[in-house]
Each structure stands twice: as structure tokens, then as C-alpha cells.
């Protein structure tokens, strides 16, 4: 049996919440070297193809816990920093064309340091907005 790959969508803010309709993960990518963005994209593509529940990627795709339960993160290192891309999974989402990885937000932090609570709060806020509005980059 052939599995369909999951779709990858980037959350885009709704005009009622942000008139500029920002795409937080793309803004995050804009601050990174192209090599790191390509690595993030390669991991996302591999996870989508696997699919996510079957992906075994040596620490590059991890389920998050505690206050970030329900998120998955793509992990990439470069430039002395750890870079994280926060994603959620939407199984059988008719409005997204089927099962999808929704890329919500990202952050960079020094190696061996915890993420700032404000970064996690922002990611949760963006996830909650997506769940309420269901808007993605077209």
C-alpha cells in the first residue's frame, strides 16, 4: 500500500489579527542563511514523505512536551546556534487538502540554552490563531 505524503503548509496570520498577514515561519527563515533554510525544508519534506508518525530522523524531528505538548519541532544547528521550527499535525484536514504539517513559527537560541518563555508563548499564540482561523499561505 502506497502512502500519500502529507502536505506542508505555512500558517499565515488572518487580516483581522494582523493586517499585514505575516507568515511567522517565513519571517523566521528570512533571518537565516539559505543553507539552514534548505536543511529545514529537507527535514520537512522527509517527515511529510515518511509520514510524521513513522519518521525516524536522528533528533531532527521531535515531539515537544509540557507547555508545548501538541507541537513538533524541526531541529537544525548552525552558526553556533540551535534553530527550531514549530509545527503541528492536522490529520485528515479537509480544509487543507488532507493530512498536513502546519509550520507555525520558529526561533534561534544559543546552544545548550533553554528557549525564552516569550518564544514559547508566541508559538502557542500563533497555533491558537491557526486553530481558530485555519489560514495558511496559498
Whole-prediction pTM: 0.95
* Three-class SS state of 115: coil
Q: Which of 54, 48, 44 is nearest to 97 (CA)?
A: 48
49 vs 54, residue with greater confidence: 49
Torsion of CA 44, 47, 48, 52, to 10 degrees: -130
Q: Mean pLDDT, to the nearest integer, of 97-106?
A: 97
Domain ranges across the chain: 7-133
Q: Which of 55, 53, 34 is nearest to 43 (CA)?
A: 55
Backbone angles phi, psi at 19, to 5 degrees: -60, -20
Using CA of residue 107, residue 111, residue 112, residue 116, what is the dihedral sign? negative
Encode pLDDT of 39-50 as tens digits. Answer: 999 999 999 999
CATH 3.30.930.10 fits 7-133, yes or no: no
**Banded model confidence at residue 4, pLDDT cuts 50, 70, 90:** confident
114 vs 56, residue with greater confidence: 114
Task: Return d(Cα 84, Cα 68) in angstroms, integer.
Answer: 13
Widest CA span in the chain: 44
Amino acid at each position: 500500500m502506497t502512502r500519500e505524503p502529507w502536505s506542508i503548509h505555512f500558517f499565515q496570520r488572518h487580516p483581522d489579527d494582523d493586517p499585514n498577514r505575516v507568515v511567522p515561519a517565513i519571517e523566521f527563515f528570512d533571518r537565516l542563511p539559505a543553507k539552514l533554510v534548505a536543511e529545514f525544508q529537507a527535514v520537512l519534506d522527509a517527515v511529510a514523505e515518511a509520514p510524521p508518525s513513522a519518521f525516524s530522523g536522528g533528533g531532527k524531528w521531535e515531539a515537544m512536551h509540557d507547555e508545548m505538548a501538541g507541537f513538533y519541532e524541526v531541529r537544525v544547528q548552525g552558526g553556533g546556534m540551535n534553530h527550531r521550527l514549530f509545527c503541528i499535525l492536522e490529520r485528515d484536514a479537509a480544509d487543507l487538502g488532507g493530512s498536513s504539517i502546519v509550520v507555525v513559527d520558529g526561533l534561534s537560541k544559543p546552544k545548550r540554552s533553554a528557549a525564552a518563555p516569550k518564544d514559547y508563548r508566541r508559538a502557542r499564540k500563533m497555533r491558537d490563531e491557526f486553530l481558530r482561523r485555519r489560514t495558511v499561505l496559498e
